[in-house]
Amino acid sequence: MKREKKTDLKSLLVSNLHKLQLSARKKFRELKEGDSQLPTDPLDRSSLETNQNMTFMIHDRERLAMREIENALSKIEQGVFGICEICGCEIGKKRLRVSPASRLCVECQGRMERTEGKRRLAQAYAT
Ligand SMILES: [Zn+2]
């Protein structure tokens, strides 16, 4: 990959990471503020708890996304960015443009998703 292309991707990743950090911080503040004004009505309280659970779930997704981006950034540093973690081939440029934090090429991702799907199906039948 050409040098300027890498810098482009890096700044894209860094700005994505910043956006995620900002929104996570904002949500965290909202959550803390919500904590200090707990409603006394038990019905209200349960809906608030559901909201908080949702916020935690969103946080998990964001944390995961942040980790992926950090991983991609460290790969750029190591010079192994854009290489599939399973087969070692180059991940398509188009794919990287859409999701720069991709760790697998389209083929390996597809294969993994199919395996994952089969595993879930087997689990569903087992229970
Ligand atoms: Zn691959």
* Chain segment 114-123, per-residue pLDDT in tens: 998 888 888 8
Give residues with Cβ within 8 angstroms of 13, minimum separation 6.
69, 72, 73, 76, 100, 101
Q: What's the rounded Cα separation, in Å, for the pair 109 and 88?
A: 13
Residue 62 and residue 111 share a domain: no
Question: For residue range 103-113, what is the model confidence (pLDDT) as tens digits?
Answer: 999 999 999 99
Report how far ligand 1's centroid is from the alpha carbon of 118 (Å).
Answer: 19
Report how far ligand 1's centroid is from the alpha carbon of 83 (Å).
Answer: 8
Report how far ligand 1's centroid is from the alpha carbon of 104 (Å).
Answer: 5
For the chain, what is the domain count? 2
Question: What pLDDT does 12 receive?
Answer: 87
Report how far ligand 1's centroid is from the alpha carbon of 18 (Å).
Answer: 29
Residue 18 and residue 72 share a domain: yes
- Ramachandran sector of residue 38 (left: φ over 0; alpha: ψ -120 to 50; beta: rest): beta
Q: What's the rounded Cα separation, in Å, for the pair 42 and 18?
A: 38
Residue 30 and residue 8 share a domain: yes
Average pLDDT over the chain reads: 83
What's the CATH code of the domain at 27? 1.20.120.910
Question: For residue range 44-91, what is the model confidence (pLDDT) as tens digits?
Answer: 767 767 777 777 777 788 888 899 899 999 999 999 999 999 999 999
Residue 61 and residue 47 share a domain: yes
Question: What pLDDT does 6 receive?
Answer: 72
Compute the C-alpha angle 89/95/97, nearest 5°: 120
Model's pTM, two decimal places?
A: 0.63
Nearest CA to 9 out of 98, 84, 78 is that of: 98
Residue 27 and residue 17 share a domain: yes
Residue 65 and residue 17 share a domain: yes
Residue 96 and residue 74 share a domain: no
Domain containing residue 2: 1-81
**What φ, ψ does residue 90 adopt, rounded to 5°?**
-75, 135
Report how far ligand 1's centroid is from the alpha carbon of 112 (Å).
Answer: 10
Last residue of a domain, one of 66, 81, 96: 81
Mean pLDDT in residue range 88-108: 90
Question: What pLDDT does 70 receive?
Answer: 92
